Structure 1
Amino acid sequence: MKFKSRKDNFFKFFVLGLSGLFIAIILIQIFFQREKFEFIFTAILMVMLIGLLFWLYFGTEYELSETELKYKSGPIRGKIKIEEITEIMKAKTLWSGLKPATARNGLILKYRKFEVIYISPETNDIFINKILEINNNIKIT
């Protein structure tokens, strides 16, 4: 089962605001700078950053199968075996570490011995119910 990532207003503002700023800078430089070649490297870098932001915005999702949880967030990809998940902390935000998420107040998954990952499915409760159907030994806090 696939779950899209929830997008909160802060993340939307960040992506759209930064992309708009970069586009404005590029357009100003194109129309008002006399030396066009000096700006090409910076423009290419800004376009790549805009691409990365939109890749994170539209490409963050989670897939739950019978044996593992797969996550994708732009270039960040990975999988976790469901049997290794020991605890899920609900409605929390992880401020450091691996965060393939686009919203606050998501889920912190503890797995293996000391590993932690933060995700933000569209609905936390449905995700928790589905993962508990697969492994009901997971502690929910």
Structure 2
Amino acid sequence: MHYRSKKDLWLGVIIWATILVSLMMPILGREWIAFVIAIPIAGFMMWLWFGTGYLLAEQQIKVKYGPFKKTIKIGDISKINKSKNPLSAPALSINRLEIVYGKFYDFTLISPVNEREFILELLKENPNIQLDEKVKEILGKR
């Protein structure tokens, strides 16, 4: 099942303002070389905005963040925490889930739109995942 990333308004304003400014400034200044350079930058930002999501399939989470990809085996997940960690991550919202996995306690931060459904799907595959109290509250909500 595919889950889109939540999208915070403030981040949308930053991304779309960057796209517009990077394209409009060279046009208004008639700087065509700068415009040609800005096109891939704008395309990359749009790819991040529209191409961030999480696919649960084949006992894995397949994380896509524009051109970047990461695969996490659901069986390797040890814990899920709620997080507002501002680190760069494949998430378009500051309201995130921290997925802890692997022998060395690697983690990734994601922000699926439907957190409750996402977590329940993970628990079906791996009922041994530990949940922090805030995640348990999400599961208690209907």
| TM-score of Structure 1 vs Structure 2, range by shorter chain | 0.7 to 0.9
Report the count of equivalent residues.
131
Question: Is 2:91–2:109's contact at 8 Å kept on the other side of the alignment?
Answer: yes
Does 2:57 match 1:54?
Answer: no
Q: 2:115 aligns with which of 116, 119, 124?
A: 124
Question: Is 1:93–1:106's contact at 8 Å kept on the other side of the alignment?
Answer: yes
The equivalent residue for 2:106 is 115
Q: Which runs of 4+ in 1 moved over 3 A?
A: none
Give the TM-score of the pair, scaled to structure 1.
0.86
The equivalent residue for 2:80 is 88
Partner-residue secondary structure (3-state), 2:100: strand
CA offset at residue 24 of structure 1?
1.9
Question: Is 1:82–1:135's contact at 8 Å kept on the other side of the alignment?
Answer: yes
The equivalent residue for 1:33 is none
Question: Is 2:5–2:92's contact at 8 Å kept on the other side of the alignment?
Answer: yes
Question: Is 2:80–2:99's contact at 8 Å kept on the other side of the alignment?
Answer: yes
Q: 2:57 aligns with which of 37, 61, 65?
A: 65
Distance in 2, Cα, partners of 1:66 & 1:47 = 36
Distance in 2, Cα, partners of 1:76 & 1:140 = 27
Give the TM-score of the pair, scaled to structure 2.
0.86
The equivalent residue for 1:5 is 5
Gaps of 5+ in 1: 31-35
Partner-residue secondary structure (3-state), 1:121: coil
Mark the structure with the bigger radius of gyration: 1
Gaps of 5+ in 2: 133-142
Distance in 2, Cα, partners of 1:82 & 1:14 = 33
Q: 1:76 aligns with which of 68, 74, 81?
A: 68
Distance in 2, Cα, partners of 1:128 & 1:119 = 12
